[in-house]
Structure 1
Amino acid sequence: MTHSLPPPARIALVDDHPVIGAALASTLAAEHRLLFIGQATTVQEMHHLLAHQHPDLLMLDLSMADGNGLELLPLLRALHRHLPVLVYSMGDPRLYAERAIRAGAAGYVCKDAPIRDVLDALHTVLRGELYLPPIIARRLLRSCTAPAAPQPSPLMTLSNRELAVLHLLGHGNTPAEISQHLNVSLKTVKRAQRQIQDKLGLHTRGALLYAAMHVAYGST
């Protein structure tokens, strides 16, 4: 008696760079247990994709042209509570991974991770388990066994929105552009900037921009 193989897991991507989707599709083409079914490059396209394609797992970038992944995660969990979301980002996992998990992600993997790690992340999340980059898993293990945990980075005190504002500032966006990008008022953006400066002890705009560039380009 022959046994038919189960259908491949359907994987969708939300990322505003088509080249990322093309690379992911090429990678998954060699995996008989995984099927890449499409990419959304905007939040609106994401909602359409979820309504019509019904993926088994959604890969989500944190930085979108019309939204912020950390703020999308609670919405996705509320609207699609059985859909696991794997964050797929260039953001420093030391800064973003735990935030993503707290916001509702089932895992976090870096875009520059080896292909085997990306595949491991996909299969782990599809099994219903949590996936974290090794550097974060080791840090969590140390925090459970160390006699005294080190003081967290001041960046960890920022809210998700404040972190998004700081990231966009680091990429050269003006407050008005950030307002449009995050779909919030200019007043909200300026208030976030003041809160960032207060929390990080930054007393000049130059210091704020310097910190923003470090966040945007992966230094912590």
Structure 2
Amino acid sequence: MASLKQSAYFPIQLKRKQPQPIPMKKISVLVVDDHPFFRSGLIQWLNQQELVSSCAEAGSVAEARMAVEEAEPDVILMDLRLGDGEGLELTRELAPEHPEIRIVALSQFDEDLYAHRALQAGARGYLMKSEATESVLAAIRTVMKGGIHLSHVMAAKLLQNIFPDPISNSVDLAKLSDRELQVFQLLGAGRSTVEIAGHLKLSPKTVETYRENLKKKLALPDGAALLRAATLWSEGGNT
């Protein structure tokens, strides 16, 4: 019998099967946006994605409520400004009623003011409309895995909040309530007290109270200064 030293040695290499990634189930999406051109373009793109099984749409708060019940979506892409109401308030309403649905705020509004408000309302992510469409798909994947999605732009702004610019003299809107911010935004858009009251379904007297609160919180001397600050903020692309 040949010894081990005399025997030829042929190492046996076993091929290990590479683990196959677990495919994510197809996702049903509801797009809530009151701009038909933007909405249809996004839906057309989503319907071409392998991850998406179906894509419903709604152009208003009322339509969104019905679509949630009819389409039973996994993910809602929610515009924060709708013609008949606010997407932020709708998010706050739907999140506890439908905890199984992941809501991603999709908006043109400045993230450093609205992202944390959207998350507090129950959204699982925030995307600027200026983001590439691929970011929408990344957001859907993230929230369906239980994560929270914020854009790269927002991450940079969070760092700016941690290390603020000491020479910045812009008004600090982070201290405002959601309703106060809505009034400030509408003032910047040139809306009168009566128009704001109609849009927000409030009395003109209540809107005047919000205007007084805005002056105090923002340390502005009078109504003219408030209007000027709101207009400048609006012209900066925050409407």
Q: TM-score, normalised by structure 1?
A: 0.86
Structure 2 unaligned blocks of 5 or more: 1-22
Residue identity matched to 2:35: H
Is structure 2 residue 126 aligned with structure 1 residue 112?
Answer: no
Q: Which residue of 1 aligns with 2:28?
A: 10
Q: Residue 49 of structure 2 aligns to a residue in which SS?
A: coil
Match of 2:68 among 50, 54, 61: 50
Q: Which residue of 2 aligns with 1:41?
A: 59
Match of 1:82 among 91, 100, 103: 100
Match of 2:219 among 186, 201, 212: 201
Q: Shift of the alpha carbon at 1:184?
A: 2.3
Residue identity matched to 1:46: A
Percent identity (aligned) = 35
**Cα separation, 2, equivalents of 1:54 and 1:190:** 40
Question: Contact (CA 8 Å) 1:68, 1:164: kept in 2 or not?
Answer: no
Structure 1 unaligned blocks of 5 or more: none
Q: Shift of the alpha carbon at 1:60?
A: 0.9
Larger Rg: 2
Q: Residue 190 of structure 2 aligns to a residue in which SS?
A: coil
**Cα separation, 1, equivalents of 2:199 and 2:53:** 31
Q: Which is bigger in relative contact order (C-alpha 8 A, separation at least 6)? A: 1
Cα RMSD (Å): 2.5
Q: Residue 38 of structure 1 aligns to a residue in which SS?
A: strand
Instruction: Indicate how the Cα distance of structure 1 residues 132 and 188 shifts in structure 2: closer, same or farther if over 3 A, else same.
Output: same
Q: Which residue of 2 aligns with 1:30?
A: 48
Q: Which residue of 1 aligns with 2:146?
A: 128
Q: Shift of the alpha carbon at 1:165?
A: 1.1
**Cα separation, 1, equivalents of 2:125 and 2:173:** 21
Instruction: Indicate how the Cα distance of structure 1 residues 19 and 212 shifts in structure 2: closer, same or farther if over 3 A, else same.
Output: same
**Cα separation, 1, equivalents of 2:123 and 2:44:** 24
Aligned residues between the structures: 214
Question: Contact (CA 8 Å) 2:32, 2:77: kept in 1 or not?
Answer: yes
